[in-house]
């Protein structure tokens, strides 16, 4: 054995030990979750998180490590711990045991798509036990969940660059399924080509129209390259891999490139670095939210056709101390110039304030529906990602 092989063997042993320590850490987190379930009034201790991050930065400096990178690693550990505690409080396993297809989840797209990656992130440690099923359209994913072929469907609902995804809002109104979760995913576009391909030798770049638009500045620098719209980013990567043409490339995730045998020709090529997509998870499963879990509730309602009606409805929510995180309007079908309003607010329907406020709104609004209460990922208390 040469020195390089010996050192690599040592590195593998260190990495294995790091994973074992992570398992031990999560076991301790599970003990803490059980303790919290027995009566502690909080799930998340922001002061302790800040103290921990400051402490590990100090340890990193003592050991001459990059303190910023070490801090980021521990931010991920905290996120993993919070997800573990949250799952324990949700009691999801108890609910899922009665549903035959709870181990299956639908998403729109192909293996390696951002939707599939977001689904893996949402299910976390359980992802290896969940069968992720790609569907041709958002509506197909919803239909599979409605029919009981899958336990969950994951749909993108807004993007920090492209804005709201109206098709998802319309589907939420049409389906009897409820929102049971949300996830956010950092979209990092890569230019992917065959091994040996060069960016300056390309003739075509394939991707979803939104991905092409989000990388407009980068693509403008590729002189004479044709942009070809595709159904989704991962399917574009798959087509480039199958075509075996070094003059074609795709814009997709690095994971899609690895899956379809492509090299990364350029990373992080989007016009905006902070490109995040928010997804909602819908299901027929009814999860009971522990009040210690930071939550959101989504509503959709119409207002009476009179002056100040929307303002009055929003004042009802304000009067009960409910903070809005999203307000979206959509046209009412077959009723020109009339609108329904989608509202996300902090808190769950398990709280007295939300229950009373919604009861008041029902008396005022011609129609109102609660789309679901679910653990939050986009509020100050619920966020676990750096955004």
The domain total for the chain is 4
Catalytic residue among 279, 297, 303, 341: 279
Q: What angle do CA 134, 377, 216 make, to 5 degrees?
A: 60
The residue out of 216, 249, 283 marking a domain boundary is 283
Rounded-to-integer distance, Cα 93 and Cα 270, Å = 39
Across 315-344, average pLDDT: 91
Confidence of residue 95 (pLDDT cuts 50, 70, 90): low
Across 286-307, average pLDDT: 87
Residues 343 and 324: beta-carbon distance below 8 Å: yes
SS3 270: coil
Q: What percent of the chain has pLDDT over 70?
A: 93
Same domain, 84 and 111: no
Confidence of residue 337 (pLDDT cuts 50, 70, 90): confident
pLDDT at 241 over 90: yes
pLDDT of residue 122: 93
Q: Does 168 qualify as catalytic in the annotation?
A: no
Q: Does 279 qualify as catalytic in the annotation?
A: yes
Residues 368 and 362: beta-carbon distance below 8 Å: yes
pLDDT at 116 over 90: yes
Catalytic residue among 110, 277, 297, 303: 277
pLDDT at 6 over 70: yes
Q: Considering only 29-33, 57-61, 108-112, 187-191, which range has the smallest mean pLDDT?
A: 29-33
CB neighbours (10 Å) of residue 104?
Answer: 18
Question: Would 82 be classed as within a structural domain?
Answer: yes
pLDDT of residue 93: 65
pLDDT at 39 over 70: no
Question: Would 387 be classed as within a structural domain?
Answer: no
Question: Would 356 be classed as within a structural domain?
Answer: yes
Domain assignment of residue 325, given as a range: 295-375
Same domain, 120 and 84: no
Question: Would 289 be classed as within a structural domain?
Answer: no
Question: Would 337 be classed as within a structural domain?
Answer: yes
Question: Would 31 be classed as within a structural domain?
Answer: yes
pLDDT at 81 over 90: no
What average pLDDT is seen over the chain?
A: 89
Rounded-to-integer distance, Cα 379 and Cα 77, Å = 19
pLDDT of residue 186: 94
CATH number of the domain enclosing 51:
1.20.59.10
Same domain, 44 and 129: no
CATH number of the domain enclosing 337:
3.30.70.260
Same domain, 106 and 28: no
Rounded-to-integer distance, Cα 273 and Cα 254, Å = 15
Same domain, 17 and 81: yes
The pLDDT tens digits of the residues spanning 253-281 come to 999 999 999 999 999 999 998 899 999 99
Same domain, 138 and 195: no
Same domain, 34 and 112: no
Residues 118 and 157: beta-carbon distance below 8 Å: no
Within 8 A by CB and 6+ apart from 277, the residues are 114, 118, 156, 158, 159, 160, 184, 185, 187
Question: Would 383 be classed as within a structural domain?
Answer: no
pLDDT of residue 128: 84
CATH number of the domain enclosing 110:
3.40.190.10
pLDDT of residue 1: 65
The residue out of 43, 64, 90 marking a domain boundary is 90
| Two structure tokens written together for 134 | 């790609």
The residue out of 90, 110, 135 marking a domain boundary is 90
Question: Would 51 be classed as within a structural domain?
Answer: yes
CB neighbours (10 Å) of residue 79?
Answer: 15
pTM of the model: 0.83
Q: What are phi and psi of 277, to 5 degrees?
A: -115, 135
| Two structure tokens written together for 37 | 């379930």
pLDDT of residue 5: 83
């Amino acid at each position: 054995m040469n020195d390089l092989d010996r050192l690599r063997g040592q590195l593998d042993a260190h990495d294995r030990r790091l994973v074992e320590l992570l398992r031990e850490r999560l076991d301790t987190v599970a003990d803490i979750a059980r303790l919290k379930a027995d009566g502690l009034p909080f799930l998340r201790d922001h002061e302790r998180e800040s103290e921990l991050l400051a402490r590990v930065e100090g340890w990193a400096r003592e050991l001459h490590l990059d303190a910023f990178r070490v801090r980021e690693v521990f931010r991920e550990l905290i996120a993993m711990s919070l997800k573990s505690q949250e799952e324990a409080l949700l009691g999801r396993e108890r609910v899922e045991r009665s549903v035959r297809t709870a181990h299956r989840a639908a998403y729109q797209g192909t293996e390696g798509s951002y939707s599939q990656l977001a689904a893996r992130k949402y299910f976390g440690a359980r992802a290896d036990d969940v069968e992720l099923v790609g569907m041709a359209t958002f509506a197909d994913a919803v239909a599979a969940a409605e029919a009981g072929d899958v336990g969950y469907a994951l749909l993108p609902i807004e993007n920090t660059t492209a804005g709201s995804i109206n098709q998802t809002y319309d589907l939420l109104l049409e389906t009897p399924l409820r929102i049971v979760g949300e996830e956010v995913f950092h979209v990092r576009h890569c230019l992917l080509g065959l091994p040996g391909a060069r960016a300056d030798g390309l003739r075509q770049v394939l991707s979803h129209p939104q991905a092409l638009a989000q990388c407009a500045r980068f693509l403008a620098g590729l002189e004479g390259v044709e942009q070809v719209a595709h159904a989704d980013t991962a399917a574009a990567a798959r087509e480039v891999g199958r075509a075996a043409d070094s003059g074609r490339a795709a814009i997709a995730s690095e994971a899609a490139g690895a899956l379809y045998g492509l090299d990364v020709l350029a990373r992080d090529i989007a016009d905006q670095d902070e490109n995040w997509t928010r997804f909602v998870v819908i299901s027929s499963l009814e999860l009971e939210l522990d009040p210690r879990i930071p939550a959101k509730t989504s509503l959709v309602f119409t207002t009476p056709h009179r002056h100040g009606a929307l303002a009055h409805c929003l004042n009802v929510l304000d009067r009960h101390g409910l903070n809005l995180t999203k307000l979206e309007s959509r046209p009412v079908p077959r009723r020109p110039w009339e609108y329904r309003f989608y509202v996300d607010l902090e808190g769950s329907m398990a709280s007295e304030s939300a229950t009373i406020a919604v009861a008041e709104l029902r008396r005022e609004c011609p129609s109102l529906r609660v789309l679901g209460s679910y653990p939050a990922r986009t509020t100050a208390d619920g966020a676990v990602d750096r955004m």
